């Protein structure tokens, strides 16, 4: 039996992240990707998973330890694996985990070796396995039983502490995290519902969507959702429920931009890049953000303060087989169209090959979500909170446009801007949007 040392993989440059929980004990059987410990840096919480299946024979980290990349976590006695996996007996370096996970279980191929969530998302993983609640090997089964009996539940120390402070009985809280873990969001939801129900207003909180046995109506197949899909669902729900969205629509006349882009096709090829409309959209958004800084803010201090960012980092939504990813282009306002084009290609490829590291996805100020290559005349994008606005891009089409004398065929690009109405007023949003449209319609301004 080979013995593997599990080490802390690349955790996005976090130095000295603290072990806030140990999820296993020596003797436990663990599977690939099962969390061993939870680290917390000042930016994020993250589970460090087992990279091999087997038995934990020694723990090399304890609560309170400060660990950095490469620090030992545990020794695991590897179980013999099915033929495909057994083909390689060489221990995989921890940084290769995403690729390895993808090979072993394409559906559960995690977004990264460690599931790292930036500040706004850290609640999703603050809740971790309760070591007394279940044996790791029997996690899923025990969780299911726990919900039936109502006597056991998964919740991490931060969640338990919060529940104690608010007097919330954890056994009554529905856990929406992996394996039914109770997350901070679940506590917030529980308390919101309790307030509404007890407030005498007759409100009944969020009505639950009933579970339906679809098999009653015909053949079905049920599959697990990827971690990425589940994480996206949590973030979307959080944004949808917390942020009053306003979505405004407009069209940019990109006839000249398209002609310019066609002229540059040869140069793009010689630079070994592709020049799609996206780099122009990113550049236009960056300039418009610089001119309209209200859209480059985030709420803080429970809504009492506004953080004005002096940098312009733009996220771009990338559709990958495992789910939605949003890598971030830093200082987009200071980059040329060619630099942006190269970064769009590089980050999109990294996203699809699951090679993005946490810092590639952190620090975004604003997001561009382009469905232009796929189709559609408009959509209402959901804001990537704590950002306060997002630009949705649909498919350009040639339309007759009245030029004051006659109708002219012009290439029109449908755009939608969603903004957080707690921060961005209609005037702010309108001015920003008008600027984006003007920049795209007159590309000379983009290069100024």
List residues with catalytic annotation: 421
> Given the rule CB under 6 A, which of 135-143, 271-279, 297-305, 427-435 is the region that contacts ligand CAO?
271-279
Which residues make Cβ contacts (< 8 Å) with residue 102, sequence separation at least 6?
Answer: 109, 354
Beta carbon nearer to ligand CAO, 197 or 353: 353
252 scored as a contact of ligand CAO (CB under 6 A): no
Taking residues 405 to 444 in sequence order and writing x for each that binds ligand CAO by CB under 6 A, - otherwise, the string is: --------x-------------------------------
β-pair type (72-78, 45-49):
unpaired
Distance CA(387)–CA(34), nearest Å, equals: 31
317 scored as a contact of ligand CAO (CB under 6 A): yes
268 scored as a contact of ligand CAO (CB under 6 A): no
369 scored as a contact of ligand CAO (CB under 6 A): yes
Reduced to 3 states, what is the DSSP secondary structure of residue 233?
A: helix
Task: Give min distance, CB of 106 to ligand CAO, in A.
Answer: 19
Angstrom CA distances, 112 to 24, 95, 282, 301, 438, stand at 21, 9, 26, 30, 39
Beta carbon nearer to ligand CAO, 50 or 382: 382
Distance CA(313)–CA(335), nearest Å, equals: 11
Let me know if 309 is exposed, middle or buried by CB neighbors in 10 A (0-12, 13-18, 19+). Answer: middle
Residue nearest to ligand CAO (CB): 372
DSSP string computed for 343-383? HHHHHHHHHHTT---GGGGS--SEEEEE-TTT--S---PPP
Please identify which residue in the block is written with the tokens 């004051």: 404
Among 131, 179, 242, 276, binds ligand CAO (CB under 6 A): 276
396 scored as a contact of ligand CAO (CB under 6 A): yes
β-pair type (328-329, 389-393):
unpaired
264 scored as a contact of ligand CAO (CB under 6 A): no
Taking residues 3 to 32 in sequence order and writing x for each that binds ligand CAO by CB under 6 A, - otherwise, the string is: ------------------------------
Distance CA(370)–CA(392), nearest Å, equals: 6
Task: Give min distance, CB of 370 to ligand CAO, in A.
Answer: 5
Q: Give the residue from 95, 77, 50, 42 showing the smallest Cα distance to 357.
A: 95
Beta carbon nearer to ligand CAO, 179 or 380: 380
Q: Give the residue from 383, 401, 405 showing the smallest Cα distance to 392.
A: 383
> Given the rule CB under 6 A, which of 9-17, 148-156, 299-307, 313-321 is the region that contacts ligand CAO?
313-321
* First-to-last C-alpha distance (Å) of the chain: 64
| Cβ pair 46, 9 in contact under 8 A | no
Q: Give the residue from 144, 127, 231, 120 showing the smallest Cα distance to 187.
A: 127
278 scored as a contact of ligand CAO (CB under 6 A): yes
Applying CB under 6 A, the site for ligand CAO has a residue count of 20
> Given the rule CB under 6 A, which of 3-11, 107-115, 270-278, 282-290 is the region that contacts ligand CAO?
270-278
Task: Give min distance, CB of 76 to ligand CAO, in A.
Answer: 37
Among 36, 155, 316, 389, binds ligand CAO (CB under 6 A): 316
| Cβ pair 227, 114 in contact under 8 A | no
Report the interface residues with ligand CAO, using CB under 6 A. Answer: 274, 276-278, 316-319, 324, 344, 348, 369-373, 393, 395-396, 413
């Amino acid at each position: 039996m080979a013995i593997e040392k599990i080490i802390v993989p690349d955790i996005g440059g976090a130095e000295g992240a603290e072990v806030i929980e140990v999820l296993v004990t020596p003797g436990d059987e663990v599977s690939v990707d099962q969390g061993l410990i939870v680290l917390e840096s000042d930016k994020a919480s993250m589970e460090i998973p087992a990279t091999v299946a087997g038995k934990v024979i020694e723990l090399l980290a304890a609560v309170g330890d400060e660990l950095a990349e490469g620090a030992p976590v545990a020794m695991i006695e590897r179980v013999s694996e099915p033929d495909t996996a057994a083909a390689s007996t060489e221990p995989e370096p921890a940084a290769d985990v995403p690729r390895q996970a993808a090979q072993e279980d394409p559906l559960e191929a995690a977004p990264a070796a460690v599931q790292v969530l930036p500040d706004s998302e850290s609640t999703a993983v603050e809740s971790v396995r309760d070591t007394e609640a279940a044996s790791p090997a029997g996690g899923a089964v025990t969780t299911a039983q726990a919900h039936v009996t109502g006597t056991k539940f998964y919740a991490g120390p931060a969640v338990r502490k919060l529940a104690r402070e608010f007097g919330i009985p954890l056994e009554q809280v529905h856990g929406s995290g992996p394996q039914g873990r109770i997350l901070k969001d679940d506590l917030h939801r529980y308390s919101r519902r309790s307030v509404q129900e007890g407030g005498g207003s007759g409100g009944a909180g969020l009505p639950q969507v009933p579970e339906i046995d679809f098999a009653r109506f015909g053949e079905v197949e049920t599959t697990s959702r990827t971690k990425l899909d589940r994480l996206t669902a949590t973030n979307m729900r959080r944004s949808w429920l917390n942020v009053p969205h306003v979505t405004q629509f407009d069209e940019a006349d990109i006839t000249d931009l398209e002609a310019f882009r066609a002229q540059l096709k040869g140069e793009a090829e010689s630079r070994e890049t592709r020049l799609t409309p996206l780099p122009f959209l990113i550049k236009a958004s960056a300039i418009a953000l610089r001119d309209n800084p209200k859209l480059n803010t985030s709420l803080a201090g429970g809504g009492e303060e506004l953080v004005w960012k002096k940098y312009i980092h733009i996220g771009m939504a990338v559709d990958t087989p495992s789910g939605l990813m949003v890598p971030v282009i830093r200082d987009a306002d200071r980059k040329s169209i060619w630099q942006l084009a190269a970064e769009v290609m590089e980050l999109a490829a990294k996203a699809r090959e699951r090679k993005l590291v946490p810092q590639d996805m952190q620090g975004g100020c604003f997001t561009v979500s382009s469905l232009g290559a796929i189709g559609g005349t408009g959509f209402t994008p959901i804001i990537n909170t704590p950002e306060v606005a997002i630009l949705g891009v649909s498919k350009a089409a040639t339309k007759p446009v009245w030029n004051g004398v006659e109708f002219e065929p012009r290439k029109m690009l449908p755009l939608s801007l969603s903004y957080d109405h707690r921060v961005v007023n209609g005037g702010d949003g309108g001015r920003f949007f008008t600027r984006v449209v003007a920049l795209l319609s007159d590309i000379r301004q983009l290069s100024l």
